[in-house]
Amino acid sequence: MDLGQLLAIIIGAIFVSNFVLARFLGLCPFVGVSKDSDSALGMGMAVIFVMTMASIVTWIVYTYVLVPLEITYLRTIAFILVIATLVQFVEMVIEKTSPALHKSLGIYLPLITTNCAVLGVAVLNIDTFIATGLPRATSFIFTVVHGLSAGIGFTLALVLMAAIRERLQLGSVPKSMRGIPITFIIAGLMAIAFSGFAGLKIG
């Protein structure tokens, strides 16, 4: 296992192939929760935890359950069950520890269950690190690093969008462009900016 490969996975998941700004997954919470920085950061932390834990658990389920039983065609169903369980756990913890954050996140917190970015990370891990025939130890480490990095990339995009939208509240945005229209324009400009990272050469 090369450290250069790990660095490439980290940089790729956070910047080059950002799940929101390059793969366009998880746009629902990205647009809905990015109205203020506190909510964006709280959602980001929740997504980082869910993505990392989902990567670990789905790797275990796929490697030690689905493959031995030759039922890999059920991976999507199995992965959704894992993600739903993790999200339920996160929601209960946030509700008990930070009711204000739980209220500000609203419906978007349980919607992590249907966040295609989380399922996308799990499926991409299998297709990239297991199906290609990597050793189990290496594929597991790569899976965990990729899940964590993808969550960080999601949080980065969310926090940046929240910061920009907070600044726009102080600006003179035309009435017809306020709200969702200007949000989509900003998201497009951010995606263009992040596409510049595609030219990076790691390792």
Q: Where are the domains of the chain?
A: 33-155
Distances (CA, A) of 71 to 32, 63, 76, 131, 142: 36, 11, 11, 14, 23
Structure confidence at residue 112 (pLDDT): 76
DSSP 18: -
Taking the CA atoms of the chain, what radius of gyration do you get in angstroms? 18
Q: What is the mean pLDDT of the chain?
A: 88
> Which ranges of 116-135 does DSSP label H, i.e. alpha helix?
116-125
**CB 141: neighbour CB atoms within 10 A?**
17
More confident residue, 179 or 127: 127
**What would the 3-class secondary structure string for 83-103 be?**
HHHHHHHHHHHHHHHCHHHHH
Mean pLDDT calculated for residue range 70-74? 94
From 114, 108, 107, 116, select the one nearest 26 (Cα to Cα). 116
Question: How would residue 76 be classed by pLDDT, with cut points 50, 70 and 90?
Answer: very high
Phi and psi, residue 179, nearest 5° = 85, -130
The more confident residue out of 22 and 106 is 22
pLDDT band per the 50, 70, 90 thresholds, residue 201? low
pLDDT, residue 200, reads 58
pLDDT digits (tens, 9 = 90+) for 95-104: 888 888 778 7
pTM of the model: 0.87
